[in-house]
Chain A
Amino acid sequence: AQSVTQLGSHVSVSEGALVLLRCNYSSSVPPYLFWYVQYPNQGLQLLLKYTTGATLVKGINGFEAEFKKSETSFHLTKPSAHMSDAAEYFCAVRVGTSGSRLTFGEGTQLTVNP
């Protein structure tokens, strides 16, 4: 079975600082990895995904993530935080044997301070 661990349930950064949200996965087969963002009272919006190919994935709003198989990690980064980035972020994994089922991490609440 696959699983996802997000290190840090709350992360606080200053506006303009680097954003780093950590995600480690466990999977016995090659995984598909996703990052979603959730704003208050809304559903989930896809930031980026890794399926195959290039391990550095660029997403929307300046976010990117790097798939590191040796470290079983898929950390999310953004060079310069903006106030509008404040939200909850979820890392998720899917494997080929599970249909469309996503297994989510616990989420990381990002706070951006002025």
Chain B
Amino acid sequence: KAGVTQTPRYLIKTRGQQVTLSCSPISGHRSVSWYQQTPGQGLQFLFEYFSETQRNKGNFPGRFSGRQFSNSRSEMNVSTLELGDSALYLCASSWAGVADTQYFGPGTRLTVL
């Protein structure tokens, strides 16, 4: 069974631009979560989508948004990029329950210049 895939793997943008990252979950998984990983702040939860609805949201500004499609694929968008948005963005998928394992993708490395 294929794992979680994320595209693109690497991205370079400049301040003020916007970016869209994509995540394809493991087949059959209905929950997709996004995390931001930086050296200074560690791993921080962005949001979770389940059955096309945002089920949970972390403490990030409104510039960070996401959505989920009917096939469970998810995208996250960051508008008006700032230097501090440079990070590894990780996507994770799971079946649905709170005890379920979250499987992580390899991440998208975003660099903002």
Cα separation A105 to B42 with both chains bound (whole Å): 8
B31 within 8 A of A: yes
Chain B residues within 8 Å of A90, by CB: 43
The residue from A51, A52, A100, A107 contacting B102, defined by CB atoms under 8 A apart: A100
B15 at the interface (CB under 8 A from A): no
Interface of B is mostly: strand
Closest to B58 in A: A101
- Report the Cα distance A100→B50, complex, angstroms: 9
Of A44, A94, A96, A106, which is in contact with the most chain B CB atoms at under 10 Å from its CB?
A: A44
Q: Give 12 pairs: A residue, B residue, CB < 8 Å, sorted on A.
A: A34-B101, A42-B107, A43-B105, A46-B102, A49-B101, A99-B31, A99-B50, A100-B92, A101-B33, A101-B58, A102-B33, A102-B92
Q: Given A98-B56, A102-B45, A105-B42, output 8 extra A-B contacts at Cβ < 8 Å.
A: A32-B99, A41-B106, A49-B99, A96-B98, A100-B31, A100-B94, A100-B96, A106-B42
